[in-house]
A and B are shown apart, each in its own frame.
Chain A
Amino acid sequence: MSSLRLLSSVARNARISSSPAVLKRGYAEATDKIKLSLVLPHQSIFTSQDVVQVNLSAVTGDMGVLANHIPTVESLRPGTLEVIESEGTSKKWFVSGGFATVHPNNSLTINAVEAAPLEDFSAEAVRANLAEAQKVANGNGSEEDKLEASIEVGVYEALQYALSSK
């Protein structure tokens, strides 16, 4: 699948498949920007702001979005979201999940249920909650409870990974 991606990325415009080690190099320079709207139910972090690049972790893999990206709909998995507003400045958030949509008019809309800057998380709390969730997931509750707990485990593990690779 990755080879197919490489082929299609040659044909299409500016789609980078980046590993968790962030690739800041882009085909478009700081002059071409994409309008980003990153909104949470209780707060909007970006509202139609021009940014250079956005790296997000989609269910299908990590990807970076530059200006004039083709329209696409991606489901997000719990992970880090990095926004590069201009050359050199980047900010990171941990996103719990949601959808990212690139529209035909060069705008990227991300609806996330919860997102917070990485600095706001405490590793201790993450470790404690992860242990508890694992206990419930492996315990003998109802199927629904175990499923919810396993989703929790996934989020906490992704959070730990994001915090460790800051």
Chain B
Amino acid sequence: MEYLIGIQGPDFVLVAADNVAAHSIIQIKHDYDKMFKLSEKILLLCVGEAGDTVQFAEYIQKNVQLYKMRNGYELSPAAAANFTRKNLADYLRSRTPYHVNLLLAGYDATDGPGLYYMDYLSALAQAPFAAHGYGAFLTLSILDRYYRPDLTRDEAVELLKKCVEELNKRFILNLRSFTVRLIDKEGIHDLEKLPLV
């Protein structure tokens, strides 16, 4: 029902998420932001079971900020991703596992951009592009076909638009709008919401 997508370029990561908060058959909110800012250059995109998403994401968010306060410097995206994975794995075999699917996108000064795919079983993989949700079935092959490691920012946005077009065409649900953000060495930038009217 929900959709997340991330595309990594040579010096940026482009991420997008749909804006629908649904409860059974009703959309209760049309402008819901599923991205959580962990630090100046790291975004956590979180979908899954109602309530679990916000609880888990905010927990990670506050812990990453606490690390910065205690140590004076921020966690790198790789460290944040592994920290998130560890927490998810610890809760997995407890009485209260978190059922959340995540994308973590960040830019590191030394390592460059990074996109991490994590699912509710706490499997972690770094990938050049990734998607979550039923929409992923429709769009991953588009990404496979057209992705190149040396995409420019505009090309990446065009690729994202192709994916959104496909969803609008073939996906049974009406995902009216998507929040789009880009992370590069300058930080997190908000781009125009898709689809453009």
The yes or no verdict on A and B being binding partners is: no
Residue ranges of B at the interface with A (Cβ–Cβ < 8 Å): none
